[in-house]
């Protein structure tokens, strides 16, 4: 397995992502770049940025994705009327493709990134999947 020098972490500033940031730095001795998506949620992004800085991240990306999220994801979702278990409007999961697009494709383009870690909340922090990246394509997923 190739040495991991720089990782992009989907970062909320909460407990899970703060712990995994420290774990990545200690276990891989690598730089960690954080990515936080502003989708219109009630969040103190200045506090998220301060916490990321305090934890020693090499770069911090906090992107305002509200307009793209609504235009390209929410409106099409409403038109499709997707229901989870035939009852609940599919709301929370609709943001994940946009976050992945930014974190996995757009942020790594201008910099050498060795790995990308996903938002751990959907995984309930039971496992860590690190997607190793080589150049423009995804190479492997490690559990």
Give one DSSP letter per residue of 74-117, joined into a string: IHHHHHH--EETTTEE--GGGGHHHHHIIIIIITTTTS---EEE
Q: 6-65+96-142, which class in CATH?
A: alpha beta
pLDDT of 43 over the 60 cut: yes
Tell me which of 111 and 53 has the higher pLDDT. 53
Measured at the CA of 98, the angle between CA 22 and CA 40, to 5 degrees, comes to 80
Which of the four pLDDT bands, split at 50, 70 and 90, describes residue 70?
very high
Residue 114 has pLDDT above 60, yes or no: yes
pLDDT of residue 2: 74
Q: Distance (Å, rounded) from C-alpha 105 to C-alpha 25?
A: 22
Model pTM?
0.75
pLDDT tier, 100 (very low <50, low <70, confident <90, very high otherwise): confident
Residue 103 near residue 35 (C-beta atoms within 8 A)? yes
Percent of the chain, pLDDT > 70?
80
What digits encode the pLDDT tens for the residues 6-36? 989 999 999 989 999 999 999 889 999 999 9
- Kindly state the tokens that stand for 118: 């996903």
d(CA 78, CA 72): 11
Pairing status of strand 6-10 against strand 83-84: unpaired
């Amino acid at each position: 397995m190739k040495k991991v020098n720089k990782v992009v972490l989907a970062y909320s500033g909460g407990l899970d992502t703060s712990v995994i940031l420290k774990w990545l730095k200690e276990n891989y001795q690598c730089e960690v770049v954080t990515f936080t998506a502003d989708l219109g949620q009630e969040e103190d992004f200045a506090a998220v940025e301060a916490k990321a800085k305090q934890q020693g991240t090499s770069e911090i990306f906090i992107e305002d994705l509200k307009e793209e999220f609504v235009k390209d994801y929410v409106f099409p979702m409403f038109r499709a009327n997707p229901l989870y278990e035939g009852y609940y409007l599919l709301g929370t999961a609709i943001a994940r493709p946009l976050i992945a697009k930014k974190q996995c494709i757009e942020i790594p383009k201008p910099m050498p990134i060795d790995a990308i870690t996903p938002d751990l909340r959907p995984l309930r922090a039971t496992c860590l999947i690190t997607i190793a990246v080589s150049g423009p394509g995804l190479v492997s997923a490690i559990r």
